[in-house]
A = this chain, B = another copy of it.
């Protein structure tokens, strides 16, 4: 149960664990994993080192927990889109719309997912393009080719042709390179991807 006076009371138990995760996400995506010490997290989250180590085996496990949770969340969200939408173009549009929205609502989360080099500190995790959400995107294309919406081509080529532009636009946005709000680029980006693959 959440305390109404969050400023006064330090978080404990479940809330503390959540606070640590949230703080770690922010610091990792701002400065990177290696530039963030547990002391930094401790200070920013206003907890003790001992508390962190009570909830997480070590720094790597903390990052891993963050990573798999976020990927899982993304996967289920995309999965829901695939249930709701049945044709390839609509699936594509909804997935990209969802990703853009997420980049706006939770830039830190998106940054962490998109541009962190997870393999450098999570050696056991597969590369991000082999992760479940990305496999779902590939699946969208495979089905699109089967039902004739998408022209026949190698599945990876099709997947990158359709989604890579949108992903790159999000990175540009998060890096502060774009001048206009991200949403302003949505429709043109969507159109480009579709022109690349549709039959």
Q: Is there an interface contact between A117 and B32, defined as CB atoms closer than 8 Å?
A: yes
Q: Which of A35, A154, A167, A197 has the most CB of B within 10 A?
A: A154
Residue-by-residue, is A2-39 near B (CB-CB < 8 Å gives 1, otherwise 0)?
A: 00000000000000000000000000000110110000
Q: Is there an interface contact between B193 and A129, defined as CB atoms closer than 8 Å?
A: no
Q: Is there an interface contact between A196 and B165, defined as CB atoms closer than 8 Å?
A: yes
Stretch at the interface among A62-70, A81-89, A169-177: A169-177
Q: Is there an interface contact between B35 and A120, defined as CB atoms closer than 8 Å?
A: yes
Q: Is there an interface contact between B161 and A192, defined as CB atoms closer than 8 Å?
A: yes
Q: Which residue of B lies closest to A192 (CB)?
A: B161
Residue-by-residue, is A175-193 near B (CB-CB < 8 Å gives 1, otherwise 0)?
A: 1111010001100110011
Q: Is there an interface contact between B196 and A161, defined as CB atoms closer than 8 Å?
A: yes
Count the A residues whose beta carbon is within 8 Å of the partner chain — how many? Answer: 40
Q: Which of A156-171 contact B (CB under 8 A)?
A: 156-158, 160-161, 164-165, 167-169, 171
Q: Which residue of B lies closest to A159 (CB)?
A: B168
- Give the docked Cα–Cα distance between A189 and B34 (Å): 35
Q: Is there an interface contact between B115 and A154, defined as CB atoms closer than 8 Å?
A: no
Q: Which residue of B lies closest to A157 (CB)?
A: B188
**Pick from B120, B158, B177, B192: contact of A129, CB under 8 Å:** B177
**A176 — which chain B residues lie within 8 A by C-beta?**
127
Q: Which of A119-167 contact B (CB under 8 A)?
A: 119-120, 127, 129-130, 153-154, 156-158, 160-161, 164-165, 167
**A153 — which chain B residues lie within 8 A by C-beta?**
188, 192
Known: A164-B168, A177-B130, A196-B192. A120 touches B31 (CB 8 A): yes
| 9 intermolecular pairs with C-beta atoms under 8 Å apart | A117-B117, A129-B177, A154-B184, A156-B178, A157-B169, A160-B172, A164-B164, A164-B165, A195-B195
Going nearest first, the 5 A-B pairs with the smallest beta carbon separation are: A161-B192, A32-B120, A34-B34, A164-B164, A164-B168
